[in-house]
């Protein structure tokens, strides 16, 4: 992969676990998400990965909350919108697929697909094989491409199995989620193995947790990959300093990527690079 290829910066803005008690800068309402998304776009993000929350801040996969967030974002800017189908630990497949009911002008640009079960801190992010296939089918039926969320190495092998069974096509776009408690660590060795192991022609991004987030933007930039930052995975700009919104993390990531010779992809370029159609 050429180091000159523009880098797709994704911002995971909301997540399901971070609370307002941890950071007052977490966007919760559609308007808050959209306002921050527009600033992320200005700072260099081509895509946002979103979850939604109820009015009390509880994680939700409600179709209408996603519709409101997507509409608010698209009123403000052209950033690509990737919806979560992971939701929160303990949600059913049906619940997790709430955003995949959005069609027509409210249809998202992309959706995540986690390809295996994994320890998630002291919880378990449960993705039994039938559930993965159910979500993959719904993503395909909606005409979307998945971003394959791989928290561990075997999840790349599961992508190969999904392709053989006709649930996804390869090459695809992978997200290496590194540094979740109980799963694969955020280490350069893990990143290098993961990127060497994906099917030929595939694209990849890396979401490293916590203090690893911003340094891993540099590792990904040097290796010709893409990167994900955002409050879902990390709330600090530097040790003890909260990011005052997702856009501050994107701005910092953009600086790091550009310092390593990477130009940032526009949403249209990201659409082409990730083969979103
Ligand atoms: N909240 C995690 C349990 C995704 O968005 O697709 C799962 C997650 C993955 O965030
Ligand atoms: Zn997520």
Shortest-distance ligand to the CA of residue 181: 1
Report the pLDDT value the prediction gives residue 201, as an integer from 0 to 100.
Answer: 98
Instruction: Say how far apart CA 63 and CA 123 lie, in whole Å.
Output: 25
Report the pLDDT value the prediction gives residue 1, as an integer from 0 to 100.
Answer: 44
In the reported structure, the alpha carbon of residue 82 is separated from the centroid of ligand 2 by a whole-number distance in angstroms of 9
Instruction: Look at residue 22 and tell me whether its pLDDT is greater than 60.
Output: yes
In the reported structure, the alpha carbon of residue 232 is separated from the centroid of ligand 2 by a whole-number distance in angstroms of 7
Instruction: Look at residue 2 and tell me whether its pLDDT is greater than 90.
Output: no
The CATH code that applies to domain 2-273 is: 3.20.20.70
Q: What is the pLDDT of residues 221-255, one digit of tens each?
A: 999 999 999 999 999 999 999 999 999 999 999 99
Phi, then psi, of 154 in degrees rounded to 5: -60, -20
Three-class secondary structure of residue 84 per DSSP = coil
Q: What is the pLDDT of residues 97-146, one digit of tens each?
A: 999 999 999 999 999 999 999 999 999 999 999 999 999 999 999 999 99
Three-class secondary structure of residue 259 per DSSP = helix
Q: What is the pLDDT of residues 75-96, one digit of tens each?
A: 999 999 999 999 999 999 999 9
**Ranges of each domain in the chain:** 2-273
CA-closest residue to ligand 1 atom 4: 86
Beta-strand ranges (E) seen in the chain are 9-12, 47-50, 52-53, 59-60, 80-83, 110-114, 118-120, 123-125, 146-150, 173-178, 203-208, 226-229, 236-238, 241-242
Instruction: Look at residue 3 and tell me whether its pLDDT is greater than 90.
Output: no
Q: Which residue do the tokens 């519709």 mark? A: 67
């Amino acid at each position: 992969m050429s180091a000159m290829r523009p880098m797709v910066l994704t911002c995971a803005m909301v997540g399901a676990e971070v609370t307002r008690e941890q950071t007052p800068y977490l966007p919760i309402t559609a308007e808050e998400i959209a306002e921050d998304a527009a600033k992320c776009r200005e700072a260099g993000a081509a895509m946002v990965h979103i979850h939604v929350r109820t009015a009390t801040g509880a994680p939700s996969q409600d179709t209408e909350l996603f519709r409101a967030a997507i509409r608010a974002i698209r009123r403000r800017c052209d950033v690509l919108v990737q919806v979560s189908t992971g939701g929160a630990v303990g949600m059913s497949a049906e619940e997790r697929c709430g955003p995949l009911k959005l069609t027509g002008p409210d249809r998202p640009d992309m959706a995540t697909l986690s390809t295996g079960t994994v320890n998630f801190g002291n919880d378990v992010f449960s993705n039994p094989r039938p559930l993965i296939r159910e979500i993959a089918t719904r993503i395909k039926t909606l005409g979307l491409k998945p971003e394959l969320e791989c928290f561990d190495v075997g999840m790349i092998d599961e992508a190969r199995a999904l392709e053989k069974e006709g649930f996804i096509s390869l090459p695809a776009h992978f997200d290496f989620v590194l540094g979740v408690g109980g799963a694969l660590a955020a280490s350069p060795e893990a990143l290098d193995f993961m990127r060497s192991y994906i099917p030929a022609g595939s694209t990849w991004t890396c979401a490293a947790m916590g203090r690893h987030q911003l340094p891993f933007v540099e590792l990904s930039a040097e290796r010709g990959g893409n990167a994900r930052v955002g409050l879902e995975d990390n709330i600090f700009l530097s040790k003890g300093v909260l990011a005052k919104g997702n856009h501050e993390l994107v701005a910092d990531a953009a600086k790091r990527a550009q310092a390593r010779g990477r130009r940032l992809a526009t949403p249209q370029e990201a659409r082409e690079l990730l083969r979103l159609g």
